[in-house]
Structure 1
Amino acid sequence: MKLASLNTGHPDGALIVVSRDLRHAVRADAVAPTLRAALDDWTRAEPALRALYTALNAGTAGTAANAFDFDAHACTAPLPRTHQFIDASAFLNHGRIMTQAYHPEKQSDPTTPVLIQRQADDFAGPHADYPFPDEADHCDFEGEVGVILGDVPMGTRPADALDHVRLVVLFNDVSMRKHLFRELGMGFGFILAKPATAFAPVAVTPDELGDAWRDGRVQLDMEVSRNGQRFGSPNGREMSFGFHELIAYIAYNRNLRAGMLLGSGTFSNVDYRQTGSACLAEQRAIETLEHGESRTPWLRFGERLRFEMKGRDGQSIFGAIDHRFVQADYVQADYMQQNVTSGVDA
């Protein structure tokens, strides 16, 4: 099943059901006005939404009459806001590359996942221009997948955790590297380093991934391009901790509530010379290791990024994120110029 949210001006958009080939859609108002509402009442909503999906794909008369052409440009993020977003760094290969390049003296624990609480109140849509204040912030991208959960009881074990995955999403976790290491060094978390996250237009139930949804991982290539040129196509199979393990770790001493988003961390493969990367920081770290200096520039105003993931049949699963980075339409405050200093330039 594929779901999306139309941009109606409402903070949560309007829920629609999208055909498997991403060509048509139908409003789901009779089932739930928004995806947030559907997640809160999933036991009732899911069968009704799936019936709409089946009818839409089959072209059944009643549903077909109400169908319209699907336009990803008219969509927000599938879940435009939620109450909790936890992001992982679950590809240990990415961490190894970054550590070797900049902190070779540090040792990480390969048995414990790295997770961080993130902002969840303002997710960006797939085709909207992405504003940021200053190129000196060292704008970066991170191609990830995430899962949207139903209620997860405290103490859920890995063997049962995937039963609580409702939807899978694709996103670009935008980063401002100038601020990232400084904020990490302060001992809490990210604020300026991690502005709004941008999502592909469609969220899918795990069955839409077929046999690529295996071991709690999305085992497909993520196609990343910068200004129309291939940047990388790493595969999700090398995720060091599956989503079932991440969910169980987080639920060790707390309940998780419907609508929580959990991210994978940037895709990263050991064979990076063949697959490329899904973020600039990793590419720059590889260049530092191989050439003694980074050569790939950070994002500049006017650049365009595209992220897409296709199934075994070549069909786009989530639709694409295809967005342009632009200068924010306000004047940077003097406070920022005077009081925020650069951290390690990764």
Structure 2
Amino acid sequence: MKLATLRNGSRDGELVVVSRDARMYMSASAIAPNLLDAIERWQAVAQPLQALSDELNASRVAAARHFVPADCGAPLPRCYQWCDASAFLNHGRLMERAFNTPPIPDFDSTPVMYQGASDDFLGPYDDVALPCEADGIDFEGEFGVVLAETPMGVDADSALGYVRLVVQINDWSLRSYGPREMKSGFGFLQAKPSTSFAPIAVTPDDLGAAWNNGRVSMNLHVSWNGQWFGHPHGSEMNFSFGQLIAHAARTRRLSAGTIIGSGTVSNAARANGSACIAERRVIEMIDEGSARTPFMRFGDRVRMQARLADEHSGPFGVIDQRVVKAETDRRAS
């Protein structure tokens, strides 16, 4: 089952069911007004939503309309909690070198995770307004899961049973703030502006074999200003989503709608490219002695789409965004 959120002037948008080929959609507002409400009442709404999806895919819904991804916000325009990990150890080790930080103890055995802002997620085609090019504007392609209410102390195997949806993410970063905030011991704040999402959230069963052992086994294709940047594969995720969920829930329960991110998709094979600029830059430093690739400038575009090796489209749709200069207003309203 595929779900999306159409903008309708409200803060949380309108929940719709999307056809398997992502060509058509049908409003699900009679079942749940928005996706956050649906996640909170999943036991009650999952069957009616699936029935609507089955009808739509069988072309038996007369009121079906053409699906326009640009009309979508993030599947969850806001939620109660967004926790992002660094589950691809290849990326984490490269970032240690990029930021010149000491190795994290138990990095290979215990996930690292920060709590990001979850009040203002961006849609797949939204312009990304940021204050300054000198901040080191970077994209980060990753995957994520949306959870039902998850109990404290859940183990990694049981944790996957609380995954309701899988999503594709661009976790924007401002690299100039990263080193100081990492060394402060308090985690990211200014280094992490609002996060972007592909238009479609997918139930794990709809991914078939691509949902494997708590990982999204798909290539994440990334292009920057129309040029190939990378297509790393999600199967090299060192910690599964089950392990990440168990880590986040070790000392507290997780509210319905919590999103857990994988961190930047990263492969050991250099030929697969990268899903963020910082990773390419540190590889250049290692291989060539200095970083040559600049960070993003205003007007730049980044496009991301997760696809199977033999496909030209993907289940989540596309993130295609332009970076623009923010118009700031410091006056209190």
Which range, TM-score by smaller chain? over 0.9
The alignment's TM-score, normalised by the length of structure 2, stands at 0.96
Q: Which piece of structure 1 moves more, 323-332 or 178-187?
A: 323-332
In structure 1, stretches of 5+ residues that fail to align are 334-346
Give the 3-state SS of the residue equivalent to 1:290 in structure 2: helix
Partners of 2:250 and 2:112 lie apart in 1 by 15
Q: Which string of whole-angstrom CA distances, capped at 9 and with x for unpartnered residues, describes residues 226-275 of structure 1?
A: 0111100000111110000111122222111110000000000010x210
**1:244 matched residue in structure 2:** 242
Aligned equivalents of 1:146, 1:208: Cα separation in 2: 15
Name 2:5's counterpart in structure 1: 5
Superposition TM-score, scaled by structure 1 size: 0.92
8 Å CA contact retained: 2:221, 2:306 = yes
Partner amino acid, structure 2, of 1:121: D
Question: Offset at 1:102?
Answer: 4.8
Could you tell me the percent identity over the aligned residues?
50
Match of 2:123 among 119, 122, 125: 125
1:323 aligns with 2:321: yes
**Residue pair 1:31, 1:49 contacting (<8 A) in 2 also:** yes
Deviation at 1:107, TM superposition (A): 5.3
Tell me if structure 1 keeps the 8 A contact 2:219–2:309.
Answer: no
What amino acid is the match of 2:156? Answer: P
Q: What are the within-5 Å matches in structure 2 for residues 82-161 of structure 1?
A: 82-103=79-100, 106=103, 108-109=105-106, 110-161=108-159
Task: Identify if the C-alpha distance between structure 1 residues 152 and 102 changes in structure 2 by more than 3 Å, giving closer, same or farther.
Answer: closer
Q: Does 1:206 align with 2:204?
A: yes
Residues 18-37 of structure 1 correspond to what in structure 2 (within 5 A)? 18-37=18-37
Tell me the secondary structure at the aligned position of residue 188 of structure 2: coil
Q: Distance in 1 between matches of 2:76 and 2:98?
A: 36
Other-structure match for 1:69: 66
Query: Contact 2:99–2:179 at 8 Å: present in 1 too?
Result: no
1:96-149 CA-partner distances (Å, limit 9, x unpaired) = 122245538535421110011110000000001111111011100100100000
Counting matched residue pairs gives 329
Matched-pair contact (CA < 8 Å) for 1:209–1:311: no
Distance 1:230 1:14, change over 3 A: same
**Structure 1 stretches of 4+ moved >4 Å:** none
Q: Which residue of 2 aligns with 1:51?
A: 51
RMSD, aligned CA = 1.5
Q: What are structure 2's unaligned runs of at least 5 residues?
A: none
- Aligned partners of 1:117, 1:157: CA distance in 2, in Å? 20
Q: Secondary structure at the match of 1:178?
A: coil
